[in-house]
Amino acid sequence: MYSIRQEQIREYIEEKNIVTIKELCELFPEVSLMTIHRDLDALEKNGSIIKFRGGAKSVRLTGDPEFNVRMRENNAGKVAMAKKAMELIQPHSAVFLDASTTNLSLVKNMPDININIFTTGPSIALELCRLHNPVVTLCCGTINRKNLALYGQNTLEMLEKINIDLAFIGVSGCSVDAGFTCGTEGDMLVKRLVISKARTSVVMCGQEKFNCLMPYTFANLSDVDYVITDAPAPDNFVRAAKENNVILL
Beta bridge partners of 55: 20, 52
Contact 188, 225 (CB under 8 A): no
Percent of the chain with pLDDT over 90: 63
Q: Using the predicted structure, report yes or no on whether residue 136 has a pLDDT greater than 90.
A: yes
**3 state SS of 216:** strand
CA distance 21 to 26: 9
pTM for the full predicted model: 0.75
- With cut-offs at 50, 70 and 90, classify the pLDDT of residue 72: low
Is residue 11's pLDDT more than 90? no
User: Average per-residue pLDDT in the chain?
Assistant: 89
Taking the domain 2-58, which CATH number applies? Answer: 1.10.10
pLDDT of residue 7: 86
- Domain locations in the chain as residue ranges: 2-58, 67-248
How far apart are the C-alpha atoms of 84 and 81, rounded to whole Å? Answer: 5
Q: Please, are residues 77 and 231 in contact by the beta-carbon 8 Å criterion?
A: yes
Tell me which of 159 and 57 has the higher pLDDT: 159
- Per-residue pLDDT at 48: 79
**CATH among 3.40.50.10880, 3.40.640.10, 3.40.50.1170, 3.40.50.1360 for 67-248:** 3.40.50.1360
Higher pLDDT, 85 or 210: 85
Q: What angle in degrees, to the nearest 10, is found between the helix axes of 2-16 and 33-45? A: 80
For residues 166 and 4, which has the higher predicted lDDT (pLDDT)? 166
Query: How would residue 60 be classed by pLDDT, with cut points 50, 70 and 90?
Result: low
- pLDDT of residue 114 exceeding 80, the answer is yes
**CA–CA separation, 12 and 177 (whole Å):** 19
- Residue 180: pLDDT band by 50, 70, 90 thresholds? very high
Element (H, E) at 219: strand 216-219
Residue 42 or residue 213, greater confidence? 42
Task: Tell me if 195 sits within 8 A of 218, measured CB to CB.
Answer: yes
Q: Does position 19 have pLDDT exceeding 90, yes or no? A: no
pLDDT at 183: 86
Q: Is the pLDDT of residue 6 over 80?
A: yes
Which amino acid is it at 162? I
If DSSP states are collapsed to H, E and C, what string results for 76-136? HHHHHHHHHHHCCCCCCCEEEECCCHHHHHHHHCCCCCCCEEEECCHHHHHHHCCCCCCEE
Average pLDDT, stretch 134-155?
93
pLDDT of residue 55: 83
